[in-house]
Amino acid sequence: MSISRRSPFWRIFRTHTAGLALFAGGSFLSVASGQEPVVHDARAQLHAELARDVETFEQQHNILKRAVKLVTPAVVHIEAKRDDDSRLAQKSVEEAGSGIVMERNGKYYVVTNRHVIKYSSLSNVKIKLSDGRQLVPTQVWADRETDIAILAVPGKNLIPAIIGNSDKLEIGDFVLAVGSPFGLSHSVTYGIISAKGRRDLQLGDDGVTNQDFLQTDAAINPGNSGGPLMNLRGEVIGINTAIASSSGGNEGIGFTIPVNMVMVVADQLIEHGQVVRAYLGVQLDATFTREEAVAAGLSRPEGARVTGITPRSPAEKAKLQLGDVILQFNEQAVEDDDHLINLVSLTPVNREVELTLVRDMQTMRLRVRVGNRSELKPLAETSRNE
């Protein structure tokens, strides 16, 4: 590294070395004749200064260590042996993943990704706790659309994770990932939130359609799936799910399901055995252009434009119209059509919500009671037959 004599480093170096004695042949020589030998140990002084600076730094760094200590007991290692299947044309394969412990009504569950355990029966899934105990789940529920699975587990005195609020995350926030990359359980990596609202990922043939991923540069590798992404408070704010990689390993682009979405799905799986999703009954424009946004009275493309309304649906009852651009759903800004679909699907069925929309260049508000999406298909089929 080249250092200019005018640089601050050079001035500090010169200050600390000016007037120091030169050491040669085991004796001190004064810089100028007639002066007393300088016995100050420049190295010792530098070491003391560095120690003080490091102590200040370590006080901040201790935040990371305390956060890891807080969350690690709630993180589990999962080994799932694939059930023998002649269609696989191979011997049984063992998948490795991670998960977190959660508690509901005095019972313990492990949250992980569906793809970690989807090829395995309960008896072929082993859950290893941080204290070395090994558990076999007693029941499993899974949601294909979000790639979330919940495992009911026996045992006492398990330590549940502290759940944060992923809606409060901002790009640039520091985060830590904990998991079992390549089977190395309880590995910790560090990074930031790189982006939010990633909804157009191609995740193989798993049919993960409800996407609202956080993106992080914290190292995520095979085996991290199902493990937590946490903030510096030791709160879980996401479940690590996928990576974008040309090599199969970490390249600084990992994707995490926001924990608010995870908890909505988890609670419904535990309570109902499946996710009951809401719907509005509208068709949306997936190619809402800037020109169309300006024509609707907006300065840029935002929100979701309505291109169709299902008869007898909540949208029709609330008097939504073709061309309406929905800007807010229950006071949350709508970024695009996929975002609105996620917001609606995670809303409890029959809840009344407020929509803010633009119609004929005017902003207006409507209230609508979302319906049960399982009713949507029969309604659509009836409308085609009429």
Query: Where in the sequence numbering do the catalytic residues fall?
Result: 115, 147, 225
Q: Which of 280, 150, 282, 259 is nearest to 212 (CA)?
A: 259
What is the Cα–Cα distance from 39 to 48, expressed in whole angstroms? 16
* CA neighbours closer than 13 Å in the CB half-sphere of residue 310: 20
Q: Measuring CA to CA, how many Å separate 385 from each of 222, 283, 312, 378? A: 49, 18, 14, 11
Task: List strand residue ranges (DSSP E) for 63-186, in order.
Answer: 75-81, 94-104, 107-113, 125-128, 134-135, 139-143, 148-152, 174-179
Helix (H, G, I), strand (E, B) or coil at 67: helix
- Taking the C-alpha atoms of residue 123 and residue 233, their distance in angstroms, rounded to an integer, is 36
Return all residues near 342 (Cβ < 8 A) that are at least 6 apart. 199, 210, 211, 212, 261
Confirm if 363 and 356 have CB atoms less than 8 A apart.
yes
- DSSP E strands in 231-333: the ranges are 236-243, 254-258, 278-279, 282-284, 304-309, 325-329, 332-333
Secondary-structure percent of the chain, ordered helix, strand, coil, rounded to 5: 25, 30, 40
Largest CA distance in the chain: 112
Task: Please name the helix (run of DSSP H) or strand (run of DSSP E) that holds residue 314, with its range, or none.
Answer: helix 314-317
Give the whole-angstrom CA distance, residue 242 versus residue 215: 10
Q: Which of 146, 126, 141, 337 is nearest to 259 (CA)?
A: 146
CB 119 within 8 Å of CB 80: yes
